[in-house]
Amino acid sequence: MITVIGAGAWGSNLATIALANGYDVNMWSRRSNLSLTRAVRDAEVIVSAISMQGIRDVIEQLQGLTLSPQTIFVSATKGLDPQTARTPCQIWQDTFPRNPIVVLSGPNLSKEIEKGLPAATVVASNTAIAASKVQLIFSSNRFRVYTNLDPLGVELGGTLKNVVAIAAGVCDGLQLGTNAKAALVARGLTEMVRIGVHWGAQQETFYGLSGLGDLIATCNSPFSRNYQVGYQLAGGRNLQEILANLQGAAEGINTTTVLKQCSQRGDISMPITEQVYCLLQAQVTPKEALEGLMLRDIKPEYQQ
């Protein structure tokens, strides 16, 4: 039995894929009639597709239940804890140290996957056998699943690109052109690598599906909520207005704040993140954010 926690856009998609592959699937959300205790009772695999803000709540509830140490937790959340900057997988592992934890992350815009369009993703874990099991559960002729042994790198790729996706939305909203977009995405990737490697991830992981792949998807699609936030800010709307009309979470907003604090503490240069932060705080206009990036001191390409 596979239990998917979180019945939002991504949780529903993942449940549908596993169901189509012939697995028994339970779905749970805080609105469902099924209790969490019943939902996870026979679960060999628990897939968490809740937004970052709900992770601690749900883990606290699960902590009170008796779960087998063989139960595999799969995290599909792309965010960082606002207090500790821990990733979702790190929080799962802190709470359930004996259980295998697998991250599932890639260029996976749910609106495309629900239409049956082809996509690929990555499952990564320190427990290779658990990653292989999860690979089997979700692999299909429409969803190609790769394994990877750098769970932190895979998880950070999916999380950090959301900040760049907000900036990419601004870039398109201001109609800055393809050259500007290419520069932004390439320099955004440099920032992702810089902080990711500082936190212990492997550099090459960021050039794969879960890093560069997801960056390309979210920086170019109006289906991305993070891209939409940037695009609409460039159009002159304020953040409250945008969020009031946005379907689902734009995790990049919280991630930007966490990253800004971490980059300051660790003295890690993250100019794009810094400008996205100032923009989200309404401290600069989209045009001022652009000027802030273009008028930085000139420097070699590979230097902090």
Ligand X SMILES: O=C(CO)COP(=O)(O)O
Ligand Y SMILES: NC(=O)C1=CN([C@@H]2O[C@H](COP(=O)(O)OP(=O)(O)OC[C@H]3O[C@@H](n4cnc5c(N)ncnc54)[C@H](OP(=O)(O)O)[C@@H]3O)[C@@H](O)[C@H]2O)C=CC1
Q: Which residues, 121 to 160, sit near ligand X by CB under 6 A?
A: 158
Is 177 buried (19+), middle (13-18) or exposed (0-12) by CB count in 10 A? exposed
d(CA 259, CA 160): 9
Shortest separation between residue 301's beta carbon and ligand X, angstroms = 27
Q: Which is nearer to ligand X, 78 or 133 (CB)?
A: 78
Residue 217 near which of ligand Y, ligand X, none (CB within 5-8 Å, type-dependent): ligand X
By the rule CB under 6 A, 11 interacts with ligand X: no
47 in contact with ligand X (CB under 6 A): no
Copy the structure tokens of residue 281.
């705080």
Select from ligand Y, ligand X, none the partner in contact with residue 292, using the beta carbon and a kind-dependent cut-off of 5 to 8 Å: none
Residues 161, 181, 260, 287: which is the catalytic one?
A: 161
The b/e string for 260-280 (b: 16+ C-beta within 10 A; e otherwise) is bebbeeeebebebbbbbbbbb
Ramachandran region, residue 85 (left: φ > 0; alpha: ψ -120 to 50; beta: rest): left
Please, which of residues 214-253 interact with ligand X by CB under 6 A? 214, 217-218, 224-226, 251
The residues in 189-218 that bind ligand X, with binding defined as CB under 6 A, are 214, 217-218
Question: Measured between alpha carbons, how far is 163 from 194 in angstroms, rounded to an integer?
Answer: 14
Flag whether 172 is marked binding: no
- List the interface residues with ligand X, window 86-125 (CB under 6 A): 107-109
For the range 91-99, what are the long-range contacts, defined as Cβ-Cβ under 8 Å and sequence gap of 24 or more?
A: 91/55, 91/56, 91/59, 92/48, 92/59, 95/59, 95/62, 95/63, 96/67, 98/69, 99/67, 99/69, 99/70, 99/71, 99/72, 99/73
Helix (H) or strand (E) holding 56: helix 55-63
- 133 is a catalytic site residue: no
Q: Cβ(77)–Cβ(53) under 8 Å?
A: no
Does 260 appear as a known binding residue? no
Binder of residue 79, out of ligand Y, ligand X, none (CB less than 5 to 8 A by kind): ligand Y
Q: Which residues are near ligand Y by CB under 6 A?
A: 6-11, 29-31, 49-54, 57-58, 76-79, 108-110, 248-249, 251
Half-sphere exposure of 274 (CA within 13 A, CB side): 14
Residue 165 lies near ligand X (rule: CB under 6 A): yes
Least distance to ligand X from the beta carbon of 118, Å?
14
Residue 7, amino acid: A
Q: Which of 107, 77, 13 is nearest to 249 (CA)?
A: 77
Considering the complex, state which of residue 43 and residue 289 has its C-beta at the smaller distance from ligand Y: 43
Minimum CB separation from ligand Y for residue 304, in Å?
28
Q: Cα–Cα distance between 144 and 120 in angstroms, integer?
A: 4
Shortest distance, position 166 Cβ to ligand Y, whole Å: 13
Q: Which residues are annotated as a binding site for NADPH?
A: 10, 30-31, 78, 110, 225, 251
Q: Which residues participate in catalysis according to the annotation? A: 161
Q: Which residues are annotated as a binding site?
A: 6-11, 30-31, 78, 106, 110, 161, 214, 224-226, 251
List contacts with ligand X (CB under 6 A): 78, 107-109, 158, 162, 165, 214, 217-218, 224-226, 251
Q: Which residues are annotated as a binding site for substrate?
A: 78, 225-226
